[in-house]
Amino acid sequence: MKSNQFKQFILSGFLFLILILSVSGQQQKSLVAEGPYKPTDESFSQYQYPEWFRDAKFGIWSHWGPQAVPRQGDWYAKRMYQEGNPAYKYHLEHYGHPSEFGFKDIIPLWKAERWDPEKLMELYKKAGAKYFVSMGTHHDNFFLWNSKINRWNAVNMGPKKDVVALWQKAAKNQGLKFGVSEHLGASFTWYQTSHGADKEGPMAGVSYDGANLNNQDLYHANALPDDKAWLTTNPAFQLEWYRSIKELIDNYQPDLLYSDSPMPFGDVGRTLIASLYNQDIVKNNGKLEAIYTCKQASGGLWVRDVERGVLDTVSAYPWQTDTSIGDWYYRTGQKYKTATEVIQMLVDIVSKNGNLLINVVQTPEGDLEPDMLDILEEIGVWTAANGDGIYGSRPWKIFGEKSAESMAVKRTRFNENYKFNSRDIRFTTKGETLYAYCLGKPESEIIVKSLGKSSKLACKAVASVSMVGSNVKLSWKQTADALVIKKPAKLPVWEVIGFKIEFRK
């Protein structure tokens, strides 16, 4: 065992030397696309958020790939190598021991035979999405693009299609901006379970297939014992990440790049971001339109992403929530968010200067289940009627008013347990017009305390109040304490109700 590890460390060092030589001399000049952005925070401080992203508010993501095949949800390529894990037990029962049948053998089973990107993109546009994000590569190190670097890609194996290119073509045909997500930065440590072996039972001590040197272009070399954080500290791994993701952005020139991590690897990551920005300037005739988003406070240098959670205040900088309607990958028997829950999240996030990027769960075959189609249709009905106060809007002085129930829940990443009701009000603005959304269907009169005549927030008297997406006449009054809107005799079918408020000149 020790001899095998020694060989792996030697191989890793040898690969690192080759990679260093490959970017030396004249090739070193191409590390960063030429342009005004340099790989420094000082240079990034000139960044201006493009209006398309600030206006878009709602994006749909395809978090999809060969890990969907077993129908066991997220992180299958890691959990199947963790003895005692439910995914390990499932794998043993359905495919065999991971020393003989590993994740490399799952990949050919992903055929995507019912995938129709044009049809799905038309559906996503109808649901109200203004941008679409394709998975580029997950932690499984399987590339969904036509890579010349990694033979483990969707053109060579599985569906035998350039998934990224086909998604991009479909998005362009529907007039949507197009992004890609990369999860490769964490892959180098995440995948180390594939190098292990059972500790108990009849196969104890028998190495999984990740320990085979012939498979290390998929599972990576052995990491050093202290290299266990989300992002590797190994320079060879970091350079491999850079070359891979630069190939992705060079080949497809996306409008958005998402990293499933903080900004990766210090100056290595900065070099990639600078290249993305400079390349995009050329693509857009001198104007930077690209978005880079990662799991780190931005300070205005990029877009901060909050996974499965929201901020609890209006952010000075545009940001994004990423989440999924269900599990990240398809899982048998999973429970989906309702359309109302998605809409509530969207309005809450937009009121705080954010965007919602939500994964629509695809089957391994590539289509959507009937209940997922119903959810998208219901979202689309709401966005078509209520989008005037969402798309192109900007935050107000405060994001809204909280109900007592909502205040009791802490807002943070990896927390979607909050519940909203009609006393949760969220504000957006367009010019001089204010929109107030009740996050639950009102059961009685709607009271907006922020718009009382004595409120410091209400600088002008209210001139008119109308219901968004409805021509029903409203009865209202502005008292010293609040704007009071009488519950309309007829409410729309949707739960989240919007009101358009104009002020006297």
Structural domain boundaries in the chain: 2-307, 400-503
Q: Which of 73, 182, 163, 172 has the alpha carbon at shortest distance from 132?
A: 172
- 13 pLDDT above the threshold of 90: no
For residue 410, the model assigns a pLDDT of 64
pLDDT digits (tens, 9 = 90+) for 191-236: 999 999 999 999 999 999 999 999 999 999 999 999 999 999 999 9
Given a cut of 50, whether residue 260 has pLDDT beyond it is yes
Please report the pLDDT score of residue 5 as a whole number.
46
* Cα dist from 490 to 296, 384, 485, whole Å: 45, 19, 13
Tokens linked to 124: 């996503």
For residue 336, what are the contacts with CB-CB under 8 A and spacing of at least 6? 325, 326, 361, 371, 372, 375
What's the confidence (pLDDT) of residue 317? 98
Residue 409 has pLDDT above 90, yes or no: no
Element (H, E) at 77: helix 76-79
Give the closest residue to 325 by CA, choosing from 273, 372, 282, 394. Answer: 372
* Fold of the domain spanning 400-503: Immunoglobulin-like (2.60.40)
Predicted confidence band of residue 4 (pLDDT cuts 50, 70, 90): very low
Strands annotated E in 27-127: 58-62
pTM given for the model:
0.92
What is the model's pLDDT at position 404? 80
Above 80 in pLDDT, residue 184? yes
Confidence of residue 413 (pLDDT cuts 50, 70, 90): low
Strand locations in 460-504 (E): 462-467, 476-478, 483-485, 497-503
pLDDT of residue 415: 73
- DSSP one-letter string for 317-337: S-EEEEEESS-SS-BTTPPPP
What pLDDT was estimated at residue 414? 63
Q: What is the mean pLDDT of residues 17-28?
A: 40
Given a cut of 90, is residue 11 above it in pLDDT? Answer: no
C-alpha span between 31 and 52 (Å, rounded) = 28
Of 143, 159, 134, 130, nearest in space to 218 by CA: 143
Tens digits of per-residue pLDDT, 262-293? 999 999 999 999 999 999 999 999 999 999 99
| Segment among 120-124, 389-393, 441-445 with least mean pLDDT | 441-445
**40 — pLDDT class (breaks 50, 70, 90):** very high
Query: Spelled out in words, what is the top-level CATH class assigned to the domain 2-307?
Result: alpha beta
Report residue 418's pLDDT band, with 50, 70 and 90 as the boundaries.
confident
In the chain, what percentage of residues exceed pLDDT 70? Answer: 92
pLDDT digits (tens, 9 = 90+) for 347-373: 999 999 999 999 999 999 999 999 999
CA distance 43 to 201: 56
Q: What pLDDT does residue 295 have?
A: 97
Q: pLDDT band for position 23 (50/70/90)?
A: very low
pLDDT at 208: 98
- Is the pLDDT at 159 greater than 90, yes or no? yes
Q: Average model confidence (pLDDT) for the chain? A: 92
Q: How much is the pLDDT for 7? A: 46
Average pLDDT of span 333-351: 97
List pLDDT tens digits, range 76-121.
Answer: 999 999 999 999 999 999 999 999 999 999 999 999 999 999 999 9
**467-492: pLDDT as tens digits:** 999 999 999 999 999 999 999 889 99
